[in-house]
Amino acid sequence: MPRSGQPVSTQSPHKAVDANAMVAEAVPSRSGPPLSSWLFPALALTMVGAITLFHLEFELSALGLTFSMALLLVLFGTVFAAVHHAETLAHRIGEPYGTLLLTLSVTVIEVSLISSMMLGDKVVPTLARDTVFAVIMIVCNGLVGACVLIGGLRFREQQFRVTGASVYLSVIVVLATLTLVLPNYTFTDPGPVYSRAQLAFVGLSTVVLYGLFLYTQTVRHRDYFVTAAPESAKHQDEPHHDSVPLSLSLLLVSLFAVVMLAEKFAHLVETTSEMIGAPIAFAGLVVAVLILLPESVAAIAAARRNQLQRSINLALGSALATIGLTIPAVALVSLMLDKTLTLGLETQEMVLLVLTFFISMLTFGNGRTNIMFGLVHLVVFALFVFLVFVP
């Protein structure tokens, strides 16, 4: 098997495939990185400088609204640019390391957004809980449902490794229970919160379990998460021709710019929520949508290429990284700054969580999917979104 990003050898017995590869090599479809991949990071750095110099803030005025629209455009564009460069590097290093790099990059963005909103003027102790829960619902229902449905409509059935999906689900279920359910049933501190000692222990346990998962994914049982692409999917995913040093540099610049703009975005979300009278969980949903949008596009594109294994790696990997890295990070911030961190879900949300895990086990239980599985997940996702606004 050729490594990702390398041309197929002309000595391969698959003559038709080699001819296609030679044509792709001969026609330079892209001489350099797309304009948006470096333009948005440059605009983001410029905006960071302007905000620092002129102390720009969101306000109800023509200038304030213009600033808000520009912030959203630049922030979304920079997030997409970061994911583009992460994918470029992912093609070079192959699976599952590529997917891991992508999920870690997105997690950096998520942690910066949540931390900024936690440290804002208006304290939102449930933001981390709402965001993590929203990520699980979006990924395990919305994204998985969309990938399975789109793949089923195009290819009737798709296959994946049950062993890899089972490992993902087992770790996600344990981490979600520790961080979102168990806080409701502890006795040291009443209510849906952990005591400082409990929070430190759970945060450390979460990091250790996630680290063990990474060892399983990348070393011990790497084959569980990699599957040979079907013939219909081969050579549909053209390698990225961007320079690796350039992509790495622009990825770091993009992540730095997003982290710096996170505070202004947090303030914008808080102000908008107050203006429209949105529930508290709305902020968590917005943050989850922002950080998952680029990764969702990549996962759906993989399903359209009949690469459902990559879609599963991206989807479940992002959910796992969110719990395994975001919760310990915000727990550390909470402990250091003595901030209240509410983690326990409400009863209604716990019902949705249990339902999601149950149907996920059925969906990933036999290694084959069809459109019915996708529709079931999408119905649960629609229910989740509806209950955010009409609890």
Least confident of 79-88, 174-183, 216-225: 79-88
Question: Is 25 within a domain?
Answer: no
What is the chain's mean pLDDT, rounded? Answer: 80
Cα separation, 184 vs 58, whole angstroms = 37
Asked if the structure places residue 100 within a domain, the reply is: yes
Query: Does any domain span residue 4?
Result: no
Residue 171, pLDDT > 50, answer yes
* Residue 7 domain flag: no
Q: Which of 78-92, 288-302, 327-341, 347-361 has the highest mean pLDDT?
A: 347-361
Residue 120's domain is classified under what CATH number?
Answer: 1.20.1420.30
Instruction: List the one residue out of 225, 205, 198 whose CA is nearest residue 324.
Output: 205
Using CA atoms, how far residue 91 sits from 3, 26, 101, 221, 243, in Å, is 9, 20, 11, 20, 12
Q: What pLDDT, in 10s, does the model give residues 140-165?
A: 999 999 999 999 999 988 989 899 99
Helix crossing, 97-118 with 308-321: angle to 10°? 30
The answer to whether residue 17 sits within a structural domain is no
Domain enclosing residue 144, as ranges: 30-389
Angle (nearest 5°) at CA 33 between 47 and 112: 40
Whether the Cβ atoms of residue 375 and residue 145 lie closer than 8 Å to each other: yes
Q: Is residue 194 part of a domain?
A: yes
The pLDDT score that the predictor gives to residue 117 is 67
Q: Is residue 1 part of a domain?
A: no
Neighbours of 170 (CB within 10 A): 12
Q: State how many domains the chain has.
A: 1
Q: Does 178 map to a domain?
A: yes
